[in-house]
Amino acid sequence: MGFVALLLLGVFCAAGLMGFVYYKETHLPPVGDSDVIIVLGAQVKADGTPSVALERRLTAALESYQADRQLIIVCGAQGSNEPRAEGDVMRDWLVARGVPEGDVVAETASFNTRENLTYAKAIMEHRGLENALIVTSDYHVARALALCGQVGISAVGKGSPSKPEYFIKNHFREGLSWIKFWLESR
């Protein structure tokens, strides 16, 4: 097979992956009832503030909280290039915007989505909570909900808008994450 044919095959596969992710993103079930909001972590900047993606997730979670006050679990450990744990930064951001400290639990041990949800489930069980609203970036909601099914969380999802200039990068990367999800599910 020639180089051009391999290149075209690669482009076709990449487009297919991104199309799959976009389809999943635009065909989510409607947001239903929940008794807890789980916000999945994202990058914290070097100055200790949320990245654009994380701030958008937090804004979406805050809107949901203001419409229906319930416990918020914010998830994420401290990455090697982050000054503080994502969960702590998210908790502080929400409290600074009027959410009572008692309504936010920071989970700071998880390093990926599966761990976010596994540790959040333990908090839910401890508090007798049953139905979660998962808040994450728009392109990530469908896979997060699939992972909820694997870890035993009854959930609906709400996506925060991503920056349009990152559409290709985010959707391609998420497509690769779906492949990993399928391989790990076997």
Please write the tens of the pLDDT for every residue from 104-118: 999 999 999 999 999
Instruction: Give the C-alpha separation, 158 to 180, whole Å.
Output: 23
Least confidently predicted of 9-23, 28-42, 147-161: 9-23
Higher pLDDT, 25 or 53: 53
List the beta bridge partners of residue 106.
Answer: 74
pLDDT for 111 equals 94
In the predicted model, what is the mean pLDDT of residues 180-185?
Answer: 88
pLDDT for 46 equals 96
Higher pLDDT, 134 or 180: 134
Please write the tens of the pLDDT for every residue from 3-34: 888 888 888 888 888 888 888 888 888 888 99
CATH fold of 3-185: Rossmann fold (3.40.50)
- pLDDT above 80 for 186: no
The count of other CB atoms within 10 Å of the CB of residue 7 is 10
In the predicted model, what is the mean pLDDT of residues 69-81?
Answer: 96
Q: Which residue has the tokens 């990245």?
A: 51
Higher pLDDT, 64 or 23: 64
Q: Is residue 92 within 8 Å of 54, Cβ to Cβ?
A: no
Q: How far apart are the first and last CA of the chain?
A: 31
- pLDDT above 90 for 93: yes
Instruction: Report DSSP letters for the chain, one per residue.
Output: --HHHHHHHHHHHHHHHHHHHHHHHHSPPPP---SEEEE---PBPTTSSBPHHHHHHHHHHHHHHHHS--EEEEE----TT-SS-HHHHHHHHHHHTT--GGGEEEE-S--SHHHHHHHHHHHHHHHT--EEEEEEEGGGHHHHHHHHHHHT-EEEEEEEPPPGGGHHHHHHHHHHHHHHHHHHH-
pLDDT for 1 equals 63
CA 11 to chain centre: 27
